[in-house]
């Protein structure tokens, strides 16, 4: 009967819980906040609204508590509910001040909001209307009391001196405490005498009231002497400060002289930048207070008579903050629940739990709360509710919500039936899962066919209810049924077990040895159950091979029962472990093959220059990997700033076991880098990293300058030139040249040092040097190590004198509008110097300029050799020019001849031939055009030049003095033709280019277009067809 009663009660509840997934327990989306209401007696309709909003399905309904008691917002009450918001009208501070909480409920349970307070801010008037005067001596300190009236809410204080707007300004001598409102004057002066009024302002209501005035008068019995500071304003010994808040400490002292105020931390830690020390006003302000700001602070007041100090401790506190929250949970009936709830805070928070908005009390043996953790054992349907963990300390509290669902249900396989077909290989292990939904957990048994299974060494039922079968055989195949039952009912689910033949890899594992560049097949042959499809996966060093990537090196080549792969053009990086894994629906297997790849050696390492001389270097290195083929030899290469890349250097034969070598034939005083390459029977590997740069030692220079020559220069000079010796051949620092020279056939040498490595010439100047006289010259080298050899002796001539004679009989004639021919009688021609001969000449220099210009602007044309005429081109037509001629040599030009003048001819005709017509017949081309008429300033037309050519060939020219011409040309070729007029002024403008196409076996005629000046357009009539070509 008891079981039946439980079923009758619980099954309807389970139906409710099983309703669609749209159901939701209440969750606050908006919670009330504390309100400070300013009291204003003139305002009649005063009201406030506390906000509260929650989500849930069904939608929550709301209630409110004031100081723990439920509020009844009935009709006519001054409480009104709008949704979850509570409106309070006609506020009364005695009735409505307190702590409010919102409760939100639906069918899942109730949650309660955080606490929100309603307080009233006000400021009453001062009770006293008159205050006694305060008498002090000059130099004495004084405290004027404010005594603020009854109030609620924050206050600020100021003082009026005598009459508004004259207010007391704070400085090192005067201080207004914002804690008490009192005015402190450290040392009274005669100017301080007057009436003082305390002004109090409520920061919430903005109400401002003035107290009665206090007269301050000076006593007439003398001046107060100096005395040590007396601290009148000090902060408490213990000041708790909330995390993130701003704390202000006040400190002020009376004294004569006026004391100075300083602050420090007793532990010696310096103040951070955020700390504001307003020493004048005696306030230390620390914004955004953190744990590291806590400690003992000291204020020191000091003057010439002494010092005094006070200390106080700032302690850090923080309201609770949750770090571990309970989560919604669904539990089976009779199960146990453990919810953890943890929070940070200082002081350490305490915990309490609430159920549906009411405090949850511990029940011995079933409900316990320990260190914030809630434990409920033997869950019942009555435990299903909304729970809240409340973490609190004296500085605040924080709430978290969680829903507990308790489920009671008979076994149900609808969402997790036994798998219809379970596969296992023969000899393998298999797990047939049975996971019915039921609450509480009941009993599970199994049947094979119609017989109940008994557990054996091969068959076992796990705690989860699943059936494990080990070492399966063909006889294990069949229908298996899982039967589940609890106090609410019984249910079952069945599935078939199929036993398959195992998959076996017939290829044997092993090791393969290949050489770089070869291709190889890795085999993977299998036998398997015919009803199963094997799937092959290859791994290289335990990483899956993605065929199609890896640069196309890997390719599948196996058939249906083989997973063979080919590796093409094997590289060193392909060496390693290859694993073939084959998998079917029932089992898997794998084999591994080790692949060794032989290749050229890897780069040697640690190349060092052990010793270096002027021409040799001793090197050492360490071998790199031999890549499975012994190293047989090493090659050494070197690089300098002057070489084109790396070059092989001279060494003795370096065998594969040698790790040192001496490089020879190096250039002295050159920075070298060396690298080493290793070789084996496969090939030569990559080079090592370069060694550090090393410079060979200095030695005497051995290479002399090339191409020593000279000549030219100014009078009495011997100019000697050469090609500088390259830096890599200078053999040391301090490189320079020794220039030796002497007159031809003299016995003694004159020498000069040129101390610049890049020098390329030396000039010897002496009045005794005769013009164009031969000298024997040789150039040697030296550096800091000493002098090297001289180069071969060459002959160099000294500078010669410019010619002294002038050409004669200079005359000029015009050849055209742009060309003039100049002729003259030449000078005797000498190319060498002899005692009784004229100066040597190399040619003639023509200077010419227009009549309207000055000679300084003349253009110059030089001839080479003993010619006595020259043609000047590029002149203007119809223009008079002046011309002079002078001889020149390496020393310069001689005196000019007399001036000749010549006038160029008129310019050639500028009008091109127009209306050019042509026809072809019997291998002849006949051209006709219109007569060109010269303009008044142009030379007359003397004839025409016809230029014709095949494409991509040189043109031929025919002259005529008529306006037609007949050309005997094959008509099976394409021709390009132009016509130019000419006169005594030269050639005129050309006609447009005419293209005569290839004509075969017909007569054709055409004309040149007058549209374009750049191309010709020919119209050809051929067999009644019009054709245009450019």
Cα dihedral: 467, 470, 472, 473 (round 10): -110
Retrieve residue 1018's tokens: 């020919």
Q: What DSSP state is assigned to residue 428?
A: -
CA 368 to chain CA centroid, nearest Å: 57
Sign of CA dihedral 253, 259, 265, 268: negative
Percentage of the chain exceeding pLDDT 90 = 56
Q: What distances in angstroms separate CA 518 from CA 46, 194, 287, 499, one per listed residue?
A: 97, 112, 76, 44
Q: What distances in angstroms separate CA 633 from CA 514, 567, 978, one per listed residue?
A: 22, 30, 74
Distance CA 422, CA 401 (A): 44
pLDDT at 759: 95
Q: How many CA atoms lie within 13 A of 415 on its CB side?
A: 6
Sign of CA dihedral 236, 239, 244, 245: negative
pLDDT at 1015: 30
Burial 209-237 (b: 16+ CB within 10 A, else e): bebebbebebeeeeeeeebbbebbbbbee
* Residue 727 and residue 765 in contact, taking contact as beta carbons nearer than 8 Å: no
Q: pLDDT by residue (tens digit) across 1007-1017?
A: 654 333 223 32
Q: pLDDT by residue (tens digit) across 835-861?
A: 434 478 889 999 999 999 998 999 999
Sign of CA dihedral 408, 411, 413, 414: negative
Q: pLDDT by residue (tens digit) across 47-60?
A: 899 999 999 999 99
Q: What mean pLDDT comes out for the span 626-655?
A: 92
Q: pLDDT by residue (tens digit) across 655-712?
A: 888 999 999 999 999 999 999 999 999 999 999 999 999 999 999 999 999 999 998 8
Q: pLDDT by residue (tens digit) across 862-878?
A: 999 889 999 999 999 88
Q: What DSSP state is assigned to residue 10?
A: H
Q: pLDDT by residue (tens digit) across 555-606?
A: 888 766 778 999 999 998 899 999 999 999 888 899 999 999 999 999 999 9
CB neighbours of 624 closer than 8 A, spacing ≥ 6? 601, 602, 603, 604, 605, 678, 685, 688
CB neighbours of 780 closer than 8 A, spacing ≥ 6? 704, 737, 738, 739, 740, 787, 788, 789, 790, 791
Distance CA 978, CA 992 (A): 6
* Residue 846 and residue 885 in contact, taking contact as beta carbons nearer than 8 Å: yes
Burial 253-269 (b: 16+ CB within 10 A, else e): bbbbbbbbbebbeeeee
Antiparallel, parallel or unpaired: β 437-439 and 409-412: antiparallel
Q: Does the pLDDT at position 18 exceed 50?
A: no
pLDDT at 93: 83
pLDDT at 185: 94
**Among 14-18, 86-90, 574-578, 737-741, where is mean pLDDT lowest?**
14-18
* Residue 565 and residue 586 in contact, taking contact as beta carbons nearer than 8 Å: no
* Residue 232 and residue 184 in contact, taking contact as beta carbons nearer than 8 Å: yes
Residues forming a β-bridge with 750? 741
* Residue 554 and residue 544 in contact, taking contact as beta carbons nearer than 8 Å: no
Q: pLDDT by residue (tens digit) across 280-321?
A: 568 999 999 998 999 999 999 999 999 999 999 999 988 999
Q: pLDDT by residue (tens digit) across 453-471?
A: 988 999 999 988 899 999 9
Q: Read off the pLDDT band of 197 (50, 70, 90).
A: very high
Q: Is the pTM of this model over 0.75?
A: no
Q: pLDDT by residue (tens digit) across 259-273?
A: 999 999 999 899 888
Q: pLDDT by residue (tens digit) across 226-252?
A: 999 999 999 998 999 988 889 999 999
pLDDT at 958: 86
Backbone angles phi, psi at 199, to 5 degrees: -115, 125
pLDDT at 21: 52
**Among 527-531, 807-811, 904-908, 965-969, where is mean pLDDT lowest?**
965-969
pLDDT at 4: 33
Q: Read off the pLDDT band of 14 (50, 70, 90).
A: very low
Residues forming a β-bridge with 500? 425
Q: What mean pLDDT comes out for the span 918-923?
A: 78
Q: Read off the pLDDT band of 923 (50, 70, 90).
A: confident
pLDDT at 908: 86
**Among 641-655, 757-771, 773-787, 927-941, where is mean pLDDT lowest?**
927-941
pLDDT at 365: 74
Q: What is the mean pLDDT of the chain?
A: 87
* Residue 516 and residue 595 in contact, taking contact as beta carbons nearer than 8 Å: no
């Amino acid at each position: 009967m008891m079981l039946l009663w439980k079923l009758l009660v619980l099954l309807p509840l389970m139906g409710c819980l099983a309703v669609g997934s749209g159901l939701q327990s209440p969750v606050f989306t908006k919670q009330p906040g504390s309100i400070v209401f300013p009291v204003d007696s003139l305002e009649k309709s005063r009201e406030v609204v506390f906000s509260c909003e929650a989500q849930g399905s069904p939608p929550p309904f709301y209630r409110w508590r004031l100081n723990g008691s439920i509020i009844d917002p009935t009709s006519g009450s001054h409480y009104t509910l709008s949704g979850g918001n509570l409106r309070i009208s006609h506020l009364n501070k005695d009735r409505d001040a307190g702590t409010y909480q919102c409760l939100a409920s639906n069918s899942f349970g109730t949650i309660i909001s955080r606490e929100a307070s309603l307080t009233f801010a006000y400021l009453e008037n001062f009770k006293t209307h008159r205050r006694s005067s305060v008498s002090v001596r000059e130099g004495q300190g004084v405290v004027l009391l404010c005594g603020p009236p009854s109030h609620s809410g924050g206050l600020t204080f100021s003082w009026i001196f005598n009459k508004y707007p004259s207010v007391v300004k704070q400085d090192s001598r005067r201080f207004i405490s914002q804690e008490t409102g009192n005015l402190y004057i450290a040392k009274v002066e005669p100017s301080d005498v007057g009436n003082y009024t305390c002004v109090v302002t409520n920061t919430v209501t903005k109400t401002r009231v003035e107290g009665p005035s206090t007269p301050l008068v000076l006593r007439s019995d003398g001046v107060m002497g100096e005395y040590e500071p007396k601290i009148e304003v000090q902060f408490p010994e213990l000041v708790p400060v909330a995390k993130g808040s701003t704390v202000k400490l006040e400190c002020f002292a009376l004294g004569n002289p006026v004391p100075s105020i300083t602050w420090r931390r007793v532990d010696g830690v310096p103040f951070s930048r955020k700390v504001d020390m307003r020493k004048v006003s005696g306030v230390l302000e620390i914004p955004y207070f953190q744990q590291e700001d806590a400690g003992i602070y000291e204020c020191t007041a000091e003057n010439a008579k002494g010092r005094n100090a006070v200390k106080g401790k700032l302690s850090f506190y923080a309201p609770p903050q949750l770090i571990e929250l309970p989560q919604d949970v669904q539990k089976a009936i009779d199960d146990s629940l453990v919810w953890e709830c943890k929070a940070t805070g200082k002081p350490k928070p305490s915990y309490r739990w609430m159920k549906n908005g009411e405090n949850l009390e511990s029940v011995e043996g079933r409900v316990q709360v320990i260190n914030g953790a809630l434990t409920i054992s033997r869950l019942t349907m009555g435990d299903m509710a909304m729970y809240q963990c409340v973490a609190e300390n004296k500085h605040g509290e924080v709430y978290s919500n969680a829903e507990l669902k308790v489920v009671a249900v008979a076994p149900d396989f609808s969402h997790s039936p036994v798998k219809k077909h379970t596969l296992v290989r023969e000899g393998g292990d298999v797990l047939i899962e049975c996971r019915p939904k039921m609450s509480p957990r009941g009993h599970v048994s199994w049947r094979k066919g119609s017989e109940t299974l008994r557990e054996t060494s091969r068959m076992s039922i796990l705690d989860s209810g699943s059936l494990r079968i080990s070492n399966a055989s063909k006889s294990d195949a069949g229908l298996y049924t899982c039967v589940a039952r609890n106090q609410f009912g019984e249910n079952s689910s069945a599935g078939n077990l199929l036993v398959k033949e195992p998959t076996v890899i017939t290829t044997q594992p092993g090791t393969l040895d290949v050489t770089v560049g070869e291709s190889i097949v890795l085999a993977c042959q299998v036998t398997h159950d015919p009803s199963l499809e094997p799937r092959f996966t290859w791994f290289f060093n335990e990483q899956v091979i993605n065929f199609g990537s890896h640069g196309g090196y890997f390719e599948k080549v196996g058939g249906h029962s083989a997973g063979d792969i080919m590796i093409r053009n094997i590289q060193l990086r392909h060496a390693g472990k290859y694993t073939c894994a084959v998998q079917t629906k029932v089992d898997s297997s794998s084999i591994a093959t080790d692949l060794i790849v032989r290749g050229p050696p890897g780069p040697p390492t640690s190349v060092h220059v052990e010793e270096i001389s002027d021409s040799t270097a001793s090197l050492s290195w360490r071998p790199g990997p031999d890549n499975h083929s012994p190293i047989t030899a090493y090659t050494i290469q070197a690089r300098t700033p002057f070489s084109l890349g790396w070059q092989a250097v001279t060494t003795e034969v370096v065998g594969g076991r040698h790790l040192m070598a001496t490089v020879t034939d190096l250039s002295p005083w050159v920075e070298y880098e060396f690298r080493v390459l290793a070789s084996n029977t496969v090939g030569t590997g990559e080079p090592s990293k370069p060694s550090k740069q090393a410079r060979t030692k200095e030695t005497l220079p051995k290479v002399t300058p090339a191409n020593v020559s000279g000549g030219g220069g100014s009078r009495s000079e011997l100019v000697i030139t050469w090609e500088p010796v390259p830096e890599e051949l200078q053999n040391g620092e301090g490189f320079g040249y020794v220039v030796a020279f002497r007159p031809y056939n003299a016995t003694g040498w004159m020498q000069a040092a040129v101390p610049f490595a890049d020098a390329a010439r030396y000039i010897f100047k002496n009045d005794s040097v005769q013009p164009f006289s031969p000298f024997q010259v040789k150039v040697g080298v030296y550096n800091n190590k000493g002098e090297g050899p001289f180069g071969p002796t060459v002959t160099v001539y000294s500078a010669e004198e410019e010619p002294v004679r002038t050409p004669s009989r200079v005359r000029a004639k015009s050849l055209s509008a742009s060309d003039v021919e100049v002729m003259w009688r030449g000078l005797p021609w000498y190319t060498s110097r002899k005692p009784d001969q004229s100066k040597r000449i190399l040619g003639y220099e023509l200077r010419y300029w227009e009549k309207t210009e000055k000679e300084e602007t003349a253009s110059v044309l030089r001839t080479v050799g003993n010619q006595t005429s020259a043609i000047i081109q590029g002149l203007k037509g119809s223009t008079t020019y002046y011309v002079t001629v002078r001889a020149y040599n390496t020393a310069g030009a001689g005196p000019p001849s007399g001036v000749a003048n010549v006038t160029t001819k008129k310019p050639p005709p500028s009008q091109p031939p127009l209306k050019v017509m042509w026809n072809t017949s019997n291998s002849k081309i006949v051209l006709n055009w219109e007569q060109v008429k010269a303009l008044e300033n142009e030379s007359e037309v003397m004839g025409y030049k016809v230029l014709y050519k095949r494409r991509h060939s040189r043109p031929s020219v025919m002259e005529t003095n008529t306006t037609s011409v007949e050309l005997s040309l094959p008509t099976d070729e394409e021709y390009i033709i132009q016509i130019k007029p000419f006169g005594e002024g030269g050639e005129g403008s050309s006609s447009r280019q005419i293209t005569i196409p290839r004509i075969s076996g017909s007569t054709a005629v055409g004309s040149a277009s007058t549209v374009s000046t750049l191309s010709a357009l020919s119209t050809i009539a051929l067999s009644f067809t019009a054709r245009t070509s450019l």
